[in-house]
Chain A
Amino acid sequence: MSEDKLVAMANQIGRFFVPQRGGDPVSAIADHLQKFWDPRMRAAIVAHLEKGGADLDDPVRQAVRRLKEAEARN
């Protein structure tokens, strides 16, 4: 998967959830990635984070980190 494309897609998701009511966009972004992204896409964005996570918006970066932790637990 093209990392640039995945980063752009993840940031788009972030821009929707950040202004939502509830004050926890990180959980909402992580939940969306978990529910709608195929495991190889999630693995690719996690790998991108492990390489420094260039261009990921901050809440998205946190959400991907949460994904990584969740995958590690499973």
Chain B
Amino acid sequence: MAGTNGRVRLDAMSEMMAPPPPTVAAAAGVIDARKTYGVGDATVNALDGVDVRFEPGKFTAIMGPSGSGKSTLLHCLAGLDSLSSGAVFIGETYLADLSDKELTELRRSQVGFVFQSFNLIPTLTARENIVLPLALGGQEGDAVWIDRVIDTVGLRDRLSHRPSELSGGQQQRVAVARALATRPTIIFADEPTGNLDSNSGTEILQFMRDAVDEFGQTIVMVTHDPYAASYADRAVFLADGNVVGDLASPTRDTIMDQMAALGH
């Protein structure tokens, strides 16, 4: 019983301590996010009080040098990692309140993922990979929507192939289709073009751009490539665990300027 009471109290506290609901509608965001690793002298502040919200229907790029905390931020936003303090929300849900099971179900239904590599399960066909999050939830999904997604990424003739039979670019397109298949609140992409040649990379970036423009999808992408970030509506710059810049409608030039200003 003590445990239950403790839990109730914690819930109540987090409600009191949680900031008021965002006034500007946001698909996801973090509030005063801190994340430390290690103890004593070896302590590293990967996130040092980050506040950032992501508007629905927008394509945001998170940029920064290695060790800036951009990957940690993405992992915490996606519920793959937890903050040391501060809050994360996706839609109207604060992630700190969720059990592992609820978090998993949230990722399954409200979050889409595109990683740099190893995005697909090797034993499943392209089609099975696309509908995997739906299948895990025991759902069929919206057949019309899935058809549209498949056509958008242009994979109709590759659906019964396994990942080993697809090129890197095709595999990444399957990954994007999978991320779109559940119509998630938000898609997180971690260097999605990092392992691709420039043509395939451009293709993937264009698909993500189209998903935002045509379907109103929200996408947050971590990248260190100014060219990739130029496809976004907004570029957030991180350094040493802090937000150090925020560009609207970034172009390659404005991004380069910003990076130069930050000392790179």
A binds B: no
